[in-house]
Every structure is written in structure tokens, then in C-alpha cells.
Amino acid sequence: MIRHMLRYPAGWEWHVLQQAGVTEQPQKSLPSRKNAGQAPRTVPEHQPRRSSSIPESPASAPEQRIAELKEQFPECGLWIDECASRRTNHISVDHSAGVGPILCGTLMIQITEDPSDIEPFHFWLSRHRLVTMHGDIRLPLRLQTGSHTIKYDECKLAPEAFFIMISVILETFHSGLDGFESRLGELERTMRHRNRTGLLDVIFDRRYDLLHWSHLFIPIREVHGASKEAFMEELGDTDAFKRITHKLERIETLLKHYALEIDTLISMDDAISSFRGNDIMKTLTIFTVLFLPATVIGGLWGMNFDWLPWRRQPWGYGAMLVGISVITIGIYLWLWRKGWTGDLLVKKRDKLLLLENEADQSRSRSARHGGKRKKPDTESRAGAMNVTSFDRTNENDRSRRNRT
């Protein structure tokens, strides 16, 4: 385990603990035909082997460093033992006699835009000390580089700097929500212009994406509430805590809005599916009723009887076709007058296009004449003033006549 301590002007400390990674095994070169017959080269004893960027250390070195850290900070001993192999969200608030309130736990953080790239962020926080443990070096590098490092020097307490780190971690959250919003917009446009039957699977995929971001957001929200419980007096007036509060409220509003949009899309898809099912059943019923006369007459004329009406007449077949056509047309006209055929034979797409063109034309007209509508308002007000003044003069004349 690698330990790195940073001390800031206000007196608080940040201890960065980097867990030892798995060393890569050296890869052997593949054999080739050119040197297949040659004897393998032996490395002389005096020639040293190549080592990785991290120098080799005995197996007991990490344990010794952990033991030294526990001796120096005994209040962190239990937290170090629990966080060594933890990969789940965990937040706890405690109180120590010599240190005061303590906030510690683990946050599962998505480091990149890949949903599977999630690493634990272990933290132990008191008023004047922050200890973080990392298994991936990308997260501490991100926290120690950038313009936000200047803000660490301005912090008076370690919890204030901790929430600056949380805001840095949430940058990936914001970029992920921006990508989710673009995909959700594409889904809405596709559902409006070309509503296919397979869109329900895409809607559920967006729902799972939103659940993924919600699961990452809930522990951060819990940390925000636990910090109020632990450091209620120190964090209330700090700028970092106020900013993270507004940021969390903004993210929570976005998540609720996206959830409402997805629920609306699901309800719309259910309504469209029910309408499609009703149209299909209506179409099948109408076709069944229209072809019922032909089915009945064909069934009767297909019987194995010696005598059937108009069977031996030369005009019998034509008369049967005319009768079937007349009855079918009569049934269709009866259904049409009842209003049961609906708009099955009308092109709905043309109607929608006409409605959209009319809406666009009305918008363009309102945009063109928007500036000219203010003049009639002033003129109407002036006219109203003239009418009221004219009425008042008429009333005065009438009162004078009555007096005389």
C-alpha cells in the first residue's frame, strides 16, 4: 500500500492510500522458425532482471504499512480492515472522544462513460483529517489535478474539501446524463415520426439506464444527509456545502423529469398498442362480415345434392356473382352509415401531415404579424378613451336638458 499525505494551510490533512495492484507477469516471446534450431539463450547471473515501475517489496511490506497506519491513527483501524475488500455502498456516522464526529464509508463511483467502469471510493472523514483509499489510480489523479486543487487551499475544514471532491466526481455523472438525454430525445423523435412495434424494448433500455444513474446517485445523496448529521454546525455556512446542495437538487430534478418522460412514453406506447389492437380487430370483423355472403353461398352451392337452384341454368353462375356483389355492397353501405367502418380506408398519414403543415403555417403567420399587433392595441385603447369621453358628454347634455 502506497501512502501520500497532503497538508493544507488551514491545518487539515488529506491522506491518500493507494492499494497495491496486481503485478503483470512478463510475457514470453513466441518461437519462430528462424531460431527454432538454435539453443535458447541463457541470461547471465550478473545481469539484473527488468522490474515494473513499482519496486518489488516483500509480501509483508503492505501489512507493515497498514500496521503503522493503524498505530498512528487508531480510530481508522476498523475502517481500514473493512474497506480492504468492500465493493458495495456503505455509509456510517460515528463519534470519537478525541476526534469528534466521524463520517466514513464507501461510494461506488463510475469513473468513465462506460457503465461497467465502476470503482470503490473509500473515505474516512473528521473535522481536520480526510483519509481516502483507492484501488484505481485514475480517481486520485483526477482529484489532485485541475483547477479545483486551488479550492483545497481555501478550505478551512476537511469536510468542506471532501464535498469539493464529490462535485469533481459528479462531473462524470453530468456527462452521462447529457448522453442519456440525447438518447432519450432520439427515442421521442423516433416514436413520433416512425412508431414501430419494437420501440418498447428501447424504452425499457432507457429505463434501465435511468435506474443505473439513480442507483449511483442515491448513495451520494445519503452522504449529503449523513454529513448534516455529523457536521451540522461546521458545514451549514460553507460555500462548498451550499454548492453541492444545489448541484444535488439539480440532478435530482433531472432524474425525476427523465423518469416522468419515460413513464409518459410507456403509457403512450400502451395506448398506441391498444389502438392498434382495436383497429386490427375492427378490420378483421369488417372483412369477415363483408365476405360472409360469399362464404354462405359458396358453402350452400358446394353441397353434394342433385338439385340446387340455378345449377343447370347457363346464367346461374353470373346471377350468383351479381347477388353476392349486391349483398356485399349493401352490407358495406349499412356499416358505413352506422359509422362502424371508421377511418380504415382513409390514409391517416396524409391527415397528420396536413395538420402539421397547418400548425407550421399558423406559427409562421403569428411570427410575421407579431410586431404589428401592438399598434391595434394602442388604437383600440385610444378608441375606447374617445368612446368613454363621448358618453360622458352625452350624459352631461342630458342632465342639462332635464334641468331646463
Res 213 pLDDT > 90: yes
Which pLDDT does position 107 carry in this prediction? 94
Q: Are 103 and 159 in contact (CB under 8 A)?
A: yes
Exposure letters 274-309 (e unless 16+ CB within 10 A, then b) = eeeeeeeeeeeebeeeeeebbeeeeeeeeeeeeeee
Higher pLDDT, 367 or 286: 286
- CA distances (Å), origin 162, targets 170, 269, 388: 13, 44, 70
Long-range contacts of 347-356 (CB under 8 A, 24+ apart): none
Axis-axis angle for helices 239-290, 292-301 (nearest 10)? 40
Which pLDDT does position 397 carry in this prediction? 57
Which pLDDT does position 312 carry in this prediction? 73
Exposure letters 238-269 (e unless 16+ CB within 10 A, then b) = bebbeebeebbeebeebbeebeebbeebeebb
Q: How far apart are CA 79 and CA 346, in angstroms?
A: 71
> Which pLDDT band, with edges at 50, 70 and 90, does 60 fall under?
low
Res 256 pLDDT > 90: yes
- Predicted confidence (pLDDT) per residue in 267-318, tens digit: 888 888 888 888 888 888 888 888 888 888 777 777 777 777 777 778 877 8
- Predicted confidence (pLDDT) per residue in 224-245, tens digit: 999 999 987 778 788 889 999 9
- Predicted confidence (pLDDT) per residue in 167-176, tens digit: 999 998 888 9
Main-chain dihedrals φ then ψ at residue 393, nearest 5 degrees: -65, -40
Res 400 pLDDT > 70: no
Q: How far apart are CA 76 and CA 69, in angstroms?
A: 8
Copy the grid coordinates of residue 203. Answer: 424504452
> Which pLDDT band, with edges at 50, 70 and 90, does 387 fall under?
very low
Higher pLDDT, 90 or 381: 90
Query: What average pLDDT does range 369-378 have in this prediction?
Result: 48
CA 342 to chain centre: 39
Copy the grid coordinates of residue 266. Answer: 410507456
Mean pLDDT of the chain: 77
Query: What average pLDDT does range 361-367 have in this prediction?
Result: 63
Which pLDDT does position 378 carry in this prediction? 46
Which pLDDT does position 272 carry in this prediction? 82
Place of cell 475502517: 79
Query: What average pLDDT does range 33-57 have in this prediction?
Result: 40
Q: How far apart are CA 120 and CA 111, in angstroms?
A: 10
Which pLDDT does position 247 carry in this prediction? 93
Which pLDDT does position 21 carry in this prediction? 57
Q: Are 364 and 330 in contact (CB under 8 A)?
A: no
How do the residues of the chain divide into helix, strand and coil, expressed in percent and rounded to 5?
A: 60, 10, 30
> Which pLDDT band, with edges at 50, 70 and 90, does 57 fall under?
very low
Q: How far apart are CA 69 and CA 1, in angstroms?
A: 10
What contacts 54, CB < 8 A, 6 or more positions away? 20, 21, 23
- Predicted confidence (pLDDT) per residue in 65-103, tens digit: 777 777 888 888 888 888 878 899 999 999 888 888 999
Q: Percent of the chain having pLDDT more than 90? A: 29
Higher pLDDT, 356 or 245: 245
Res 392 pLDDT > 60: no
Q: Percent of the chain having pLDDT more than 70? A: 73
Which pLDDT does position 344 carry in this prediction? 54
- Predicted confidence (pLDDT) per residue in 308-354, tens digit: 777 777 887 788 888 888 888 888 888 888 777 765 555 454 555 55
Query: What average pLDDT does range 182-202 have in this prediction?
Result: 84
Q: Write the DSSP assignment of 60-110 as a string of letters.
A: THHHHHHHHHHHH-GGGHHHHHHHSS--S-EEEEEEETTTEEEEEEEEEEE
Cα angle for residues 234, 14, 155 (degrees, 5° grid): 40
Bridge partners of 15, per DSSP, are: 5, 131
Higher pLDDT, 116 or 53: 116
Higher pLDDT, 133 or 198: 133
Q: How far apart are CA 104 and CA 156, in angstroms?
A: 19
Higher pLDDT, 62 or 206: 206
Which pLDDT does position 304 carry in this prediction? 72
Copy the grid coordinates of residue 338. Answer: 352506422
